[in-house]
Structure 1
Amino acid sequence: MTTDAFEKTSWGWQVSQFQQKVGEWLEFQLSRFNQTLPELPAGWSIDSWVISLLKFLFWLLVGLFLAWIGWRLWREFSPYLYSKLSGMGNFTISAPKSTDNELSVANFLRRSQELHRQGNYRDACRYLYFAMLQQLHEKGILPHKASRTDGEYLQLLQLSSTQIQPYETLITTHEQLCFSDAEIHSENYEQCCQAYGEIANK
């Protein structure tokens, strides 16, 4: 067996080296700190329950900090996770199956208005979202791509020189429709209509 067959490094070894360096650095810093402390009277010591309380508070703060980081990461990446799950068939968030001649902005808008008159604000907002996507496709700004998520649409629109706010209104409303049980009211529909109007008038 040649020497090339052996691993030169591994993740486990690198992690243990990092832990050792951090431990040595902390020990060095504590020894410097201990040298600056005044001499304590002979026989003086800290009760064990105080040390236990300090340890508990330390680990509580570490746990809260990690929970906060996890919550921030969840808020940031949950739309991407849900969109991946939807691609596997757990959710249905794609546009309704239609023939090509039905996939027009005018048809989506007409259907949205019908649903609005029926009081179905959820689906009315969805059809405004589909009209926006169809318009982006027809204008050649962002052609249809089945795997593209709402977050990706926002990122791509931010890269273009377009005003992002109306798109953001429609896309975030669509995310609420797909990934939460949030109640959609006529005011939400009016906001989506106004946002779509700004997009259409560009």
Structure 2
Amino acid sequence: MGSVAIGVRDHCGWAVVVAVAGAPETPQVVLRRRVTLLDDPALPDQPYHAAAGLGLDTAADLIGRVERSARTASRDALASATHELAGHDVLGVALDLGAVGAGRMMVPDDLGEVLGKHHYLHGAEGELYHEALMDGAREVGLTVSRYDFKELRGTAARILGPAVSGRVDGLRAQVGAPWTRDHKDAALAALLVLAGPPT
């Protein structure tokens, strides 16, 4: 049935997953869903915030439990998506670059330092879910591509042509609501995976 790619726009505890087929001129959405990134609803979706007032050992235990839950949920969500896409050649999954890369905030390795600075809490939580999705994708056998979602529209315009964002925005007519910025970003990132590495 042809090649598809999956794009994921993640948040703390949940994500939007969109699979796209076709060329940048004629993209088609073949899967769209919101998924939960925690398999235990009793756990906090912002574990670093929840751990900020705890002792280091208790905080580390809580964060570790959320990390494990997020990895399991991410793996299950991506496995379910690839199962639904059976018959397609799934080329890979596109994820946000997150805190890695030049010019972006790097979260310290020291847990006490992270818990002591509020701006680190958000970065650490974002990276927790990015890492869980990367691990889950690899467990499912998906190749991972990472893009800076803050620069995604510019990247897509440069690689796929200036009209691509408008085409993706217009996919709402094909798929109906909801078709939010998260869906559009996931679809654009998936189209970048379909296009392959820039030449």
What is the TM-score when the length of structure 1 is the normalising length?
Answer: 0.26
What is the TM-score when the length of structure 2 is the normalising length?
Answer: 0.26
Higher relative contact order (CA 8 A, sep 6+): 2
Q: Which has the larger radius of gyration?
A: 1
Q: Which has the higher helix share?
A: 1
